[in-house]
Structure 1
């Protein structure tokens, strides 16, 4: 692509995950590694980044959770309602590979009103706890 591109929520999410994965890394340790071509020199940073960007990840939206005894679970039937710990209108967690990366509001998708979507309201930083 030509020219700088505007930051995207996905870019913010990837940055938040990258911050956490590099936390505690001592750059001085890297200096002791044998000299030779870097990965960037060997493979080309742009080409590698493009390959990484094509990797599919599973995104889950957590509406809430509930804890109940097995006896109550066994009594559930079609039409049973399970109360969750989130209330209507509260932000829901957006989880990627088991890690909460964002929060948002449930919305109806404009192009297909039979589908739900998420409007992101917060990108969770690298110090967030897992969902």
Structure 2
């Protein structure tokens, strides 16, 4: 399928979320720690072009971090 070779897709893995006031965001500096609403055992959301496509889990092997896809999400009718 040569037509698919030139298509770019942005992949994002969401480990967790948090809410904070803008004044706290403005005071963040290098090395700041932002607490998330998740633990290391929680599933992560996998987004393609900002649309949820799968869920998975984080895997750490020495100095490499990866995400294992556990479940593909069903496509909504408008994305078919």
TM-score by length of 1: 0.51
Q: CA RMSD in A?
A: 1.7
Corresponding residue SS for 1:66: coil
> Could you tell me which of 20, 44, 48 is aligned with 1:96?
48
Greater C-alpha radius of gyration: 1
Are 1:114 and 2:63 counterparts?
yes
In structure 2, list runs of 5 or more residues that go unmatched.
none
In structure 1, list runs of 5 or more residues that go unmatched.
1-49
TM-score by length of 2: 0.77
Structure with more helix by fraction: 1
Aligned pairs, number: 75
Q: Deviations over 1:92-112 (max 9, x none)?
A: 011111111000001125xxx
